Structure 1
Amino acid sequence: MGHLTATRPVQPWTAPTASDPVAATLRLPGSKSMTARALVLSALANGPSTLAGPLRARDTELMAGGLRALGPHISTADDERWLVRPHRLVGPAHVDVGLAGTVMRFLPPVAGLAEGRITFDGDPAVRARPLGPLVGALRSLGVRIDAAGPGSLPLAVQGAGRVTGGEVVIDASASSQLVSGLLLAAARFDHGLVVRHQGPPVPSAPHLRMTVQMLRAAGAAVDDGTPDVWAVEPGPLSGRGWEIEPDLSGAVPFFAAALVTGGEVTLQGWPRSSMQPVEQLRSLLHRMGGEVRLGTDGLTVRGTGSVHGLDADLSDVSELTPVLTALAMLADSPSRLTGVGHIRGHETDRIAALAREFGALGADISESADGLEIRPRPLRGGTFRTYADHRMAHAAAVAGLAVPGVELDDVACTSKTMPEFPALWSGMVTGKS
């Protein structure tokens, strides 16, 4: 179980500084969260499915590869349309999770439905990401799991071809993915599943709502009417066509560029009704000085020439913390970002990393247990370490718009969710796409 991903090449990069307001219309890749869930639901369905506009990035390639290893046929030859044909789930197999929380947490429940031994491991840093509650929940359902530590990678699932299901109690305060992973496979359990969360609030509630919506779209009966309880009835999942929305989290640094430079950025292809937390984003950007409009041409954010500080609980949208921190550095008043203690267990300890790296650029920033306090003052250029974390790279790029000489030690980490990021970003800033 010591299999590890090959070392990814490191790519230093100097973030471009904007001399003029940005003016860009972009078509960004699909949502990572929707692509990952659609792949899992399609692999467990009773017929073929297609994914239109999926995200091709490291996390989603690893998800497709992990599912392929278990038996389903997944064709990703066409960038715009992936095809999934279900197949009996069998081992032995190895799943490389890379640094992807979705793969690490969504596929062990699927492996419980397979026949044979399925091993899981990934990049060294992934071994520190929270997984124990999921392992405990699966064991309580009778799934045999061999783990090297207290519920962390590497591990092996000895699949029996079926999971009885029933009811589990889990503390999912570290990640909503711990619940989503169980729910996505639950309709295939003999008796379905009831998941009860006990503990501090589950973060990233919009991601859980997305899981429930997509399960229902695949034909599952899901009851989420009681707070912190999710019940999935046993039954078949239907193959279908999935229309993957543009990735809202991936769009946030580009929208932030509109605020920093007093420019305008439009994300094309945005649906009128979204599974992603667009209303929360609209409110946050408006409070920081942006104007947000959803029209026939897409989702547009326009800067007003100034950036305002923000006092906000980001527990539902914690993925936005790094970029909002960068905006707060450039604001005209202090900011306090709270409710994101769980991001200490993301790709890196994001709270500590943001405080450390922006502090090295001269920022007045301090950590709290569950967030950050920022008191704006002039920043200077320097090396910004990304810790192999795509969101850290996004934050540095936003700061670099206004601060010359911000040098990322590695921009290639953005390949986790958007391999095109450096080119798209430079094209937006220079006006040469």
Structure 2
Amino acid sequence: MLHSFRRVFVYFGLCFLLILSFVSWKNSWTPELKQLRPLTYYSGNGFVRTMILSDNCEKWIQNSIRLPIPALLVDQNILQQLQLNICNEMKLNHKIKVSTCVIKDYKVLLVQVAVDAVNFGSAKFDFENFELLRFYNHTDKDYLVFEVSSQNKIIIPKNFSYKISNNLKVPTQISLFLDLWNRGNFVNCRNMTMRRDSIKKGIYTMLRNVLLPPRKPIPALESVRTLAQLRDEMLKFGIFPFLNGGTFLGWYRECSVIPHTTDMDIAVFAENWNLQFSEFMWTHNSSFTVKRQLGLVNDSYELTLVPKTGFETPVDVFLMYKEIENGKENRWVGGLTTTGLKYKYMYPEYDPWCAADLMGHLFWVSCTPEDKIQKEYGNTWYLDENSSKYIWNAAQNAVENGRFSREQMKTETYNEYKINDFS
């Protein structure tokens, strides 16, 4: 009996020493938390510029686009010429494309395209030079819905910049507006009914929770609002983020946020990144603060941002890089361990040119969502796996990608900050 007790004692003693050694080794690699940089005020230098229409363009609009009802100019050809301020030489060989709002409460049903005439009370107006699209402005959505055809919808955020001339809303950040439009093809989620994976309690789970205390699940609706707020701050710099990782999976599979998830994930093409945005995060003007910065801008870059008010939902922002291999384009985002080991999450050529609804908010997504999700989560992506069991560097598409040195980790590639005061 005594012999058995000694064996058990030695066994647990060895386990304790191993755990202590692991924690000590891990701490020797992990840099200490850094103090937040002092916040400044942002000058606005990196913001997308707002266009001022020339007098010639103002006159051309007033003379050429006269409408009896409010409308939005969505004609890409005309917008591009307005942007260049070449209205003296405006080339127009097609019907002008404008969009009018369908207000169900007042039964405004302007739905005919390129008709000869439409009655407005006792007056008549000739629409033969116009192509009319209808759009809907739902109060419970943060985007407008345009009906391009019976099978195709385009959605864009409501808060784009414009000016009104002759009953016509004219976008004033034209490049940004055209990007919004060209990325606006609506893609539906699957809205699958999920059977939730339960958490099994055991010695392994207890030890893991001691070594890596689990984070709290995030509140879904508040976190989506937070993500939409970050989307808007990025758009000020011409940056188009798209859903990534578990947030992308939750949208497509469940049309929601996975209830046991602990953060939000978005990605940005590396060539679309604006260094001014990184500086903006260190100002009073942003609603977010930097909790963590990993990697370098040209290698495995990742920002973790948290809102200054409300629930501190962590938002991981990944740069997605491009590489050409055997004549084919691949994309990848990075992952980094506390020991400096780097990973690549590999994807085939990526196509985040479509838009989706997540709990009433617009986010950009891949136009081939199931293909990308299957690449990362495998053929059983439709089965729930509790977040506490998920091992981030064991994803189907993760491969090792070298290592940052210990010196790099301590000085530039692993910066985690003390979050205590946003004043």
User: Shared fold by TM > 0.5?
Assistant: no
Structure 1 or 2: more helix by fraction:
1
* TM-score, L = length of structure 2: 0.28
Structure 1 or 2: more strand by fraction:
2
